[in-house]
Amino acid sequence: QVQLQQWGAGLLKPSETLSLTCAVFGGSFSGFYWSWIRQPPGKGLEWIGEISHTGSTNYNPSLKSRVTISIDTSKNQFSMKLSSVTAADTAVYYCARVADLRYVWGTYRYFDYWGQGTLVPVSS
Amino acid sequence: DIQMTQSPSSLSASVGDRVTITCRTSQSISSSLNWYQQRQGKAPEVLIYAASSVQSGVPSRFSGSGSGTDFSLTISSLQPEDFGTYYCQQSYSSPFTFGPGTKVDIK
């Protein structure tokens, strides 16, 4: 059974850097993309970005200038850093695995395993 | 970015009711549409992928349909454990976007 366990710093002040790590247990680590998704309190979900096991990244343009996702295949872990945070970055942050199904007629991707979520408040 | 809308934004239904939630996208996404259920304080869980494929382990009362820009999620017989918020999500093009959610309450 695949499990994602995430951790990172809690309360941040404006202008600081948010840093989170997600460890993957069970299943294969290579061959997948790994994503970060966030959810402000009481609001909807926002995709932040993803990284492949080879280190190829894809970011949401709305956050691209501030976000870096990295991977450590030796530890089956991937991480995210978000710089210059403001109160608008207050959210529960989730890590997730991207299932990638390839058929002759198309490719379908979805988030099939999620971490438990980490609430990161940003306040002065 | 592909914009997502969902309707209704919330609903209250009785156990045993048939419930349908709709999702519309701002441009055609073929069948690259997924549905998630999120219970309070928990991470979302995938129910349906590729518009109509039921994820392993998901009860058969959940079904999805649609293609292009109009999609729907149906719960054939609502159960008490089905409360929560339901989100659609497109995986057709980056950035991958989610709908605003439909909150389902059990009467």
B100 contacts A108? CB cut-off 8 A: no
Cβ contact A111:A117 at 8 Å: no
B36 contacts A108? CB cut-off 8 A: no
Cβ contact A60:A48 at 8 Å: yes
B34: pLDDT strictly greater than 90: yes
The whole-number pLDDT of residue B6 equals 98
The whole-number average pLDDT for the span B29-55 is: 97
Length of chain A counted residue by residue: 124
The whole-number average pLDDT for the span B12-28 is: 97
What six digits make up the tokens of B107? 């009467």
Bridge partners of A122, per DSSP, are A12
- One-letter amino acid at A51 equals I
Residue of B nearest to A43 (CA): B100
Rounded to an integer, what distance in angstroms lies between the CA atom of residue B29 and that of residue B71? 10
Report the mean per-residue pLDDT for chain A.
Answer: 96
A106: pLDDT strictly greater than 90: no
Give the HSE-up count for residue A50: Cα atoms under 13 Å, Cβ half-sphere. Answer: 21
The whole-number pLDDT of residue A91 equals 98
Cα B34 to the chain's mean position, in Å?
Answer: 7
Residue B31, min C-alpha distance to chain A (Å): 8
Q: CB-based contact (8 Å) between B97 and chain A?
A: yes
Residue A17, min C-alpha distance to chain B (Å): 23
Rounded to an integer, what distance in angstroms lies between the CA atom of residue B42 and that of residue B52? 24
Strand A91-103 and strand A33-39: the pairing is antiparallel
- For B44, which of A45, A58, A106 is closest by C-beta distance? A45
DSSP string for A1-53: --EEEEEE---B-TT--EEEEEEEESS-STT-EEEEEEE-TTS--EEEEEEET
